[in-house]
Amino acid sequence: MQADSHFYEPKDGHGLAHDPFNAIVGPRPIGWISSRAANGTLNLAPYSFFNAFNYTPPIIGFASVGAKDTLANIQQTGEFCWNLATRELAEQMNQSCAAVPPEVNEFELAGLTAAPSKLVQVPRVAESPVSFECRVSQIIRLASAGGVETNTWLVLGEVVGVYIARHLLRDGVYDTAAASPVLRGGGPADYFEIKPEMLFRMYRPGQEPR
User: Domain residues of the chain, as ranges?
Assistant: 26-198
In angstroms, the CA 116 to CA 99 distance is 25
DSSP output for 147-173: S-EEEEEEEEEEEEEEEE-GGGEETTE
Kindly write down the DSSP assignment for every residue of 12-64, as one continuous string: G---SSS--HHHHS-SEE-EEEEEE-TTS-EEEEEESSEEEEETTTTEEEEEE
206 pLDDT tier (thresholds 50, 70, 90): confident
pLDDT in tens, 33-89: 999 999 999 999 999 999 999 999 999 999 999 999 999 999 999 999 999 999 999
Give all strands (DSSP E) within 76-190, no chain letters: 79-83, 114-115, 124-125, 130-143, 149-164, 169-170, 173-174, 182-184
Q: Which of 39-43, 99-103, 116-120 has the lowest mean pLDDT?
A: 99-103
Give the C-alpha separation, 44 to 37, whole Å.
Answer: 11
Give this prediction's pTM: 0.93
The CA distance from 123 to 138, in Å, is: 21
Residue type, 134: C
- Assess whether pLDDT exceeds 80 at residue 186: yes
Over pLDDT 90: what percentage of the chain? 89
Q: Which residue has the higher pLDDT, 208 or 58?
A: 58
Instruction: Encode pLDDT of 12-49 as tens digits.
Output: 999 998 888 888 888 999 999 999 999 999 999 999 99
Which strand (E) or helix (H) includes residue 144? none
- Write down the pLDDT at residue 1: 52
Tell me the residue length of the chain: 210
Closest CA to 134 of 154, 152, 119, 114: 119
Q: Whole-angstrom Cα distance, residue 181 to residue 37?
A: 28
Q: Which of 62, 39, 20, 19 is nearest to 159 (CA)?
A: 62
**CATH class of the region 26-198:** mainly beta
Report whether 90 contacts 97 (CB < 8 A).
Answer: no
CA 150/CA 144 separation, integer angstroms:
7
